[in-house]
Amino acid sequence: MGRPQLLLPLCASVSLLGGLTFGYELAVVSGALLPLQLDFGLSCLEQELLVGSLLLGALLASLVGGVLIDQYGRKQAILGSNVVLLAGSLSLSLAGSLAWLVLGRLVAGFAISLSSMACCIYVSELVGPRQRGVLVSLYEAGITLGILLSYALNYALAGAPGGWRHMFGWAAVPALLQSLSLFCLPAGTTEAAARRDLIPLQGGEATKLGRPRYSLLDLFRARDNMRGRTMVGLGLVIFQQLTGQPNVLCYASTIFHSVGFRGGSSAVLASVGLGAVKVVSTLTALGLVDRAGRRALLLAGCALMALSVSGIGLVSFAAPMDSSPSCLAVPNASRPAGLPGDSSLPGAVVSPPPLPVTSENQGKPVPPTSMKIKPHPKAGNRTAPPLPALGTAAPAPPSAPEHALQHWTALVCMMVFVSAFSFGFGPVTWLVLSEIYPVAIRGRAFAFCNSFNWASNLLVSLSFLHLIGTIGLSWTFLLYGLTAVLGLGFIYAFVPETKGQSLAEIDQQFQKRRFALSFGHRQSSTSIPYTRIEVSATS
């Protein structure tokens, strides 16, 4: 009798703790990078290697993780990823060289990517349609909370001896708590075990779940409209990244600096302010995703993203801001290196130690440049590697009143952009992906789309500074705005409304229609009765 009552809280904890681990691992490197520079003397290339190794591991998991999820089950995949994460955290905490650091980040990236896919699928299959939207979206809320938690621990441990080892080690705590919750839940969808908890009744008879066989090539075939489903999945993850949301956060410190917040206050305000906006917006999505629906949030979010990012581009025409990319920075002479809060995310300007004085550079001024580390943009955007920041180290002269107004307008646009992503593309993309594919291929299909998410994020991130150098900052943001408009059209035409529908019914509707256009306007089926039956599986 107790298990059905505990099912929803346990599923919520699995989703929330999984996202917490993901967000923490993505953002913790921002606070660890500065002490790592001091301890290991890392060059810019070595820093990029350390930060990018997480992305490489995540991309690898997206290529092979789908097979693991479908073959061994969702629950086993999550537990296995937590074991891998513990190994990665141990490697990072005990690392004595750059090689061990890179290996630990690579392993951790593989673990959080595999866990993110398995968690969304597992929770979506384990609960009914009325709770599915909230519980799956809790993963995105966990990501934002994990980022904020990493800020807090980075601040607290920044001045401690070997503090970076503790920063990496604390990632194991939410993974262990998630594993404890999993031991109290059913095994998953191997032989449809997870969906035996809530079975939709249509005409008084339980829907029988078949197990058709699918290959990865079926994702591009007309069978069961798999081609249409793949179009929806790939379209969402690609437009999610091509709107440039990873890079808008990268420019946060420049906008804050232009408004007049300088020094440590700029970094704290950028990290805490944007982090708070993301948390509030994600929590808003939790309350609306099962009421307003998936399409409504995606359409509203994408429209606001198009308007806000275009606004940043238009404002930068009238009030140009420094946009020169750089890597090294002169440390702040008025503040000791390693002061808590100096490397907060996002938008924090990290000041590496000064270059060693040699016969070649003695007496030569070091150019005022900076590096900024940015965390997972959404989650969501779940895949944003830190980028070299736009130069903002040199203090800006007082701006004219009209320029101050334009800078504040750019700041508001940036906040709106972050908010729109956090209640639109951020949580809803992964919810839709966990719903639209048949159970027999859901793991591989989710992983296939996720690999394009990581790859497109890498492309957007690496092309940002090149775009600025080629067409300028204003046109870069306007290009992102145009992409968001195209994404809005795609969502309107092809993305279905799955609110209140069982997974079996969503599958049936995709099979009946070649395109998702008419499916997007179909009424929901919240009136379908559900019955809860006892689950005998305990593992």
- Tens of pLDDT, residue by residue over 454-480, are 888 778 877 776 787 788 878 888 999
What integer pLDDT is reported at residue 516 of this predicted model? 43
CB 209 within 8 A of CB 192: yes
Residue 522 has pLDDT above 50, yes or no: no
Mean pLDDT of 430-447: 88
Domain boundaries, the chain: 1-189, 217-325+401-513
What integer pLDDT is reported at residue 206 of this predicted model? 37
- Tens of pLDDT, residue by residue over 189-198, are 444 443 443 3
Given this chain, do its domains 1-189 and 217-325+401-513 carry the same CATH topology?
A: yes
Mean pLDDT of 280-299: 88
Q: Is 396 exposed, middle or buried (0-12, 13-18, 19+ CB in 10 A)?
A: middle
- Tens of pLDDT, residue by residue over 124-146, are 888 888 888 888 888 988 988 88
Residue with the larger pLDDT of the pair 168 and 503: 168
Tokens of 81: 């990823």
Per the DSSP assignment, residues forming a β-bridge with 135 are none
Mean pLDDT of 414-420: 90
What integer pLDDT is reported at residue 295 of this predicted model? 92
Band (pLDDT 50/70/90 cuts) for residue 514 is low
- Tens of pLDDT, residue by residue over 66-105, are 889 988 889 999 999 999 999 999 999 999 899 999 999 9
- Tens of pLDDT, residue by residue over 173-207, are 999 999 999 998 887 544 444 344 333 433 333 34
Band (pLDDT 50/70/90 cuts) for residue 389 is very low
d(CA 408, CA 296): 29
Band (pLDDT 50/70/90 cuts) for residue 508 is confident
- Tens of pLDDT, residue by residue over 481-494, are 999 999 999 999 99
For residue 350, the SS3 value is strand
What integer pLDDT is reported at residue 177 of this predicted model? 94
In sequence order, what are the residues at sequence separation of 6 or more whose Cβ sits closer than 8 angstroms to the Cβ of residue 433?
A: 120, 233, 236, 237, 445, 446, 449, 450
What integer pLDDT is reported at residue 3 of this predicted model? 55
Residue with the larger pLDDT of the pair 519 and 89: 89
Residue 109 has pLDDT above 50, yes or no: yes
What integer pLDDT is reported at residue 497 of this predicted model? 87
Per the prediction, the chain carries an average pLDDT of 74
Go through 316-326 and write b for each residue having 16 or more CB atoms within 10 A of its CB, e for each that does not. beebebebebb
Question: What fold does the segment set 1-189 form as a domain?
Answer: Growth Hormone; Chain: A; (1.20.1250)
- Tens of pLDDT, residue by residue over 222-245, are 888 888 899 999 999 999 989 887
Residue 512 has pLDDT above 90, yes or no: no
Band (pLDDT 50/70/90 cuts) for residue 442 is confident
Q: Which of 208-222, 263-277, 333-347 has the highest mean pLDDT?
A: 208-222
State the amino acid at position 209 in one-letter form.
L
Q: What percent of the chain has pLDDT over 90?
A: 24
Band (pLDDT 50/70/90 cuts) for residue 34 is confident
Kindly give the pairing relationship between strand 205-206 and strand 198-202: antiparallel
d(CA 20, CA 96): 27
What integer pLDDT is reported at residue 535 of this predicted model? 42
**Residue closest to 418 by CA, chosen among 387, 378, 386:** 378
What integer pLDDT is reported at residue 27 of this predicted model? 81
What integer pLDDT is reported at residue 204 of this predicted model? 35
d(CA 293, CA 248): 27
Band (pLDDT 50/70/90 cuts) for residue 160 is confident
In sequence order, what are the residues at sequence separation of 6 or more whose Cβ sits closer than 8 angstroms to the Cβ of residue 315?
A: 406, 407, 409, 410, 413
CB 517 within 8 A of CB 228: no
Band (pLDDT 50/70/90 cuts) for residue 108 is very high
Residue 29 has pLDDT above 80, yes or no: yes
Residue with the larger pLDDT of the pair 13 and 346: 13
Mean pLDDT of 354-374: 39
Band (pLDDT 50/70/90 cuts) for residue 525 is very low
Which strands sit side by side in the sheet containing 530-532, from one edge to the other? 205-206, 198-202, 530-532
Question: What fold does the segment set 217-325+401-513 form as a domain?
Answer: Growth Hormone; Chain: A; (1.20.1250)
Mean pLDDT of 260-281: 66
Band (pLDDT 50/70/90 cuts) for residue 327 is very low
What integer pLDDT is reported at residue 526 of this predicted model? 42
Residue 515 has pLDDT above 60, yes or no: no
Band (pLDDT 50/70/90 cuts) for residue 258 is low
